[in-house]
Amino acid sequence: MKKLMMVAMMAVATTSAFAQADVVKNAKKLLDKGSVTEAISAVQPALTAGTNEDKAAAWNLLSSAYYKQFSDIQAKKIENQVKQTNEPVDEATMNKAVVAALEAAMKCDEFDNMPNEKGKVKPKFRQANQQIYQNGRLQCINAGQYEYNQKNYAGAFKAFAMYVDSGDSPLFTGIDMSKDEYKYEVAYFASLSAYQSKDYANVIKYAKIAAQDESKAKDATEILVFSKKETMKTKQDTLEYIDMLKDASAKFPQDNRYSAWIGDYYLQSGNPEQLLKWAEEEIAKRPDDKFGYTYKGEALRMSNKFDEAVECYKKAFEIDPTYVAAAYQAGVSLNSKAISMKDQLADKKTGKLTVDNANKIKAVLNDAKSYLEKVRELDPSHETVDWRYALYQMYYSLGDNEKASEIEKMLGQ
C-alpha cells in the first residue's frame, strides 16, 4: 500500500511539472504571435509553482514579455523622432515594462541558480539575460526621470531603486559593475523620490549609498537631515538630529545652513544657556561666522543682557553688512535696553526722568533707530523682517512725528 501511495505521489508531481511546462509553452506561443499582454497574463500561474527549473523558465518568459513590450513602444517612439511624426506613445507603460522586465530577470536568475531535482546547479538563462540587461538596465534611469517629471514619485523611486539594486544582483556575476558612473547620482534621485513619497526608510537607505560618493555627499546629507527632522518623535530622535546637524556642519563648513538650523533649534527650545554654549563653540571654531555671533546675541538677549547681546549683533553685522537679521536684532535689543533703562532710572514715586537720564535713554534710542533705518534701506519691501512697527516706535519715542506718521501710513493705521 505504501509503495502504491509513493507511485501515486510521483505521478501527481510529474503531472504538475508537465502542467507548469505547458503553461510556459502556451505563454511563449502567445508572445511569439505578438500577444504580449496575453502572454504576461498566461504565465502567471507558473511563477510560483513547479520545480526551480520551471519557475526559472516562467520568470524568464515573463522578463522576455515585458522587455518586448518595452522594446515595441520604444521602437514606436524612435520612429516618431525619425519620421518627425506624433503618433501616440504610451511612455508610462514603456517605463513600467522595462523595470518589470529587469525585476523578472533577477527573479529568474534566483531560481536558475538553485539546485535542480538532482541537486545540481545548471543555470540556463544568466548569460543571455546579462547581455540584455547589462546595458538594458540603463533604461531604468530614463524611466525614473520620466515618472519623476510626471510627479509619480512612487514609480520614479521604483525605477531608480531598480537600477541601483540591480548593480549588486547575482545576475551580473562575473561582470565588473564597480565602475558604474551613474550609481551614486541615481541613488540620490531614488532617495529624493522616496522623500517626496514620505518613504523615509528608503530615503535613508539610498541617501547613504549616494553619500559614499564625494560629488553627491553634500546633497545626500541634506536629504538625510530633512528626513530626520520630519520623523523626530522621541528625545533620542532629537539628539540624533542635532548630532547630524553638527556632523554636517563639520563636513561642509561653507554651508552655513546647518549651523543656522542648530541655532534655530536651541533658540526655539527656550534654553539660553545651551544656546550660548553652542554659539561660543561655533565662534571659537569660526571667528568670522556671523551666525555664531547672532545666536550668541539671541542667548544673551533672552537673559536680558542687552549690552552684550547688542555687541554680538553688531559684530555679526560688521562681518556681513548686508545681514538684515543682525541689524534688526541690534535695533530691537537697543530698544529693549532703553525700556529697561527707563524703568531703572525713573523716579520711583513720580515716574519722571531727570534731563541727564532722559538724554542717556535718547542716545540709546537713536542708536536703535540708526540700525532700524539700515534695515529699512537693506530690506525696503520688509520681506526679510517686518521692521515697520519697530521703526515707528523709535520715531514716536524720539518725538519725530513726521517720520512716525509716514510709517503709520505704511502700517495702514
Q: What is the per-residue pLDDT across 7-35, written as a single tens digit (0 to 9) for each?
A: 434 433 443 445 667 888 888 999 989 88
The per-residue pLDDT for 11 is 39
List, for residues 298-330, the tens digit of each pLDDT value. 999 998 899 999 999 999 999 999 999 999 999
List, for residues 55-77, the tens digit of each pLDDT value. 999 999 999 999 999 999 999 99
When pLDDT is cut at 50, 70 and 90, the band that residue 161 belongs to is very high
Q: Is 174 exposed, middle or buried (0-12, 13-18, 19+ CB in 10 A)?
A: exposed
The percentage of the chain sitting over the pLDDT mark of 90, rounded to a whole number, equals 68
User: In this structure, are residues 206 and 183 in contact, taking their beta carbons and an 8 Å threshold?
Assistant: no
User: In this structure, are residues 290 and 259 in contact, taking their beta carbons and an 8 Å threshold?
Assistant: no
Contacts of 222 (CB under 8 A, 6+ apart): 248
Whole-model pTM? 0.76
How far apart (Å, rounded) are the C-alpha atoms in residues 409 and 91?
Answer: 57
The per-residue pLDDT for 15 is 39
When pLDDT is cut at 50, 70 and 90, the band that residue 204 belongs to is very high
How far apart (Å, rounded) are the C-alpha atoms in residues 180 and 164?
Answer: 10
How far apart (Å, rounded) are the C-alpha atoms in residues 177 and 184?
Answer: 13
How far apart (Å, rounded) are the C-alpha atoms in residues 283 and 298?
Answer: 14
Whole-angstrom Cα Rg for the chain: 35
When pLDDT is cut at 50, 70 and 90, the band that residue 125 belongs to is very high
For cell 523682517, what's the residue?
Answer: 385
The grid coordinates listed for 141 are 534611469
Contacts of 266 (CB under 8 A, 6+ apart): 274, 275, 278, 295, 299
Give me the count of residues in the chain.
413
When pLDDT is cut at 50, 70 and 90, the band that residue 412 belongs to is confident
Q: What mean pLDDT do residues 152-168 have?
A: 96
When pLDDT is cut at 50, 70 and 90, the band that residue 240 belongs to is very high
The per-residue pLDDT for 19 is 66
Q: Which amino acid is at 266?
A: Y
List, for residues 275-300, the tens digit of each pLDDT value. 999 999 989 988 988 989 999 999 99
The per-residue pLDDT for 187 is 97
Its sign, for the CA torsion 25, 26, 32, 38, is: negative
- Whether the per-residue pLDDT at 145 is higher than 60: the answer is yes
How far apart (Å, rounded) are the C-alpha atoms in residues 339 and 386?
Answer: 21
